[in-house]
Amino acid sequence: MKVFVTGAAGFVGFHISKKLLDLGHIVVGYDGMTDYYDVSLKRKRLDILNRYSTYDHVEAMLEDAEKLNASIDETLPDVLIHLAAQAGVRYSLDHPETYITSNIVGSYNILEAAKRTPLRHLLIASSSSIYGANRTMPFAEGHKSDWPISLYAATKKAVEEISHSYASLWNIPITCFRFFTVYGPWGRPDMALFKFVSAIERNVPIEIYGEGKMKRDFTYIDDLVESIVRLMDIPPSERNRVQPEDALSPVAPWRVVNIGGGQPVGLLDFIETVERCLGKTAQKIFLPMQKGDVEITYADPSLLQRLTGYQPRTDLRVGVSRFVEWYLSQILPETPNTHPQSRRHT
């Protein structure tokens, strides 16, 4: 199959593209290499993808509709996986415009292109943050998600709704998946695991928001990739409606699916796991909740399980130690002012 992946140089896009290439698919990646975090990390991910003769890369922004359309027309993909976005809740407080252009305008350009392209399936990344101020746990796809508390979440929710209208108007099979705090090797430097490991390694205190009371449903990257690869083959349709509850639209080939393990972990337990894997204790600074952050994310993964027979299962200790191993071998040796030392992981 030919798969067009936006955000291919990003954390999730890199892993999905690599998996698809390993499975023998042809992949065209599209990424604007934005400088939200260190672009050299994106380049290193790309270096790995470029080793495959079946990988092709287009470096351009989603907002460049002409380039995007030309790339999709030239590729004629069977499946399009749309991951490129301005991620991050906290950054949206100071850089709101990037979320409107990348997430809203960028996704609109993808949907316009999808209108003209006979896709078997369009898959779009959404986020657990859209559950916002919803208090009913665990979060199921049918729950209210009308109260986003960050602009990031609001743009993700808007894209879900805009994509439903395109699915309905133009009969495009679309699955939106709500990711729950994805972590693993080649992860994002703005996310907690990367920040904690990097700080603890350098003996710098770590900042713990929400006084350590927050909980997150962490999803290991390989579990996420496996879920997406399985969902790729299940374009939403009445033929694959599952019981008892499905988030399949009653009027369009459109569905939303949580991808999370359903096992939220307290921030302090998470930090303890990181400390054990590093064999070092963190110096902790406790801070209040930051604006836009939700206290807890907790996935109900039963729809994913019913559709694919799969749900995230990697033990947190295993996932964190794989990240630490990657960090110590790939990132630490290149980080200035650090003292690399070999250490046994537990």
Ligand X SMILES: NC(=O)c1ccc[n+]([C@@H]2O[C@H](COP(=O)([O-])OP(=O)(O)OC[C@H]3O[C@@H](n4cnc5c(N)ncnc54)[C@H](O)[C@@H]3O)[C@@H](O)[C@H]2O)c1
Residues tagged active-site: 152
For position 102 contacting ligand X by CB under 6 A, the verdict is: yes
96 versus 242: smaller Cβ distance to ligand X: 96
Looking at the Cβ atoms of 134 and 242, the one nearer to ligand X is 134
Q: Is residue 296 a contact residue for ligand X (CB under 6 A)?
A: no
Radius of gyration of the chain (CA): 20
Number of residues lying near ligand X (CB under 6 A): 28
CB 230 within 8 A of CB 308: yes
What are the C-alpha distances in Å from 70 to residues 192, 202, 222, 278?
37, 46, 32, 47
Is residue 10 within the footprint of ligand X (CB under 6 A)? Answer: yes
Using N-to-C axis directions, what is the helix angle for 192-201 and 267-278, rounded to 10°? 40
* Residue given tokens 């949206």 in the structure block: 92
If you ran DSSP here, which 8-state letter would residue 290 be given?
Answer: P
* Distance from C-alpha of 102 to C-alpha of 105, rounded to nearest angstrom: 6
Query: CA neighbours within 13 Å on the CB side: how many for 329?
Result: 10
Contact residue for ligand X among 42, 57, 157, 216 (CB under 6 A): 42
Stretch that binds ligand X, among 58-66, 226-234, 242-250, 294-302 (CB under 6 A): 58-66
Q: Does residue 4 bind ligand X (CB under 6 A)?
A: no
Decide if residue 25 touches ligand X (CB under 6 A).
Answer: no
**Which position among 75, 107, 109, 181 is part of the footprint of ligand X (CB under 6 A)?**
181
Instruction: Find the binding residues for ligand X in span 112-131 (CB under 6 A).
Output: 125, 127
In whole angstroms, what separates CA 331 from the centre of its chain?
A: 21
Phi (first) and psi of residue 27, to 5 degrees: -125, 130
Q: Contact between 84 and ligand X (CB under 6 A)? A: yes
Residues at the interface with ligand X (CB under 6 A): 7, 9-13, 31-34, 36, 42, 61-63, 83-87, 102, 106, 125, 127, 179, 181-182, 188
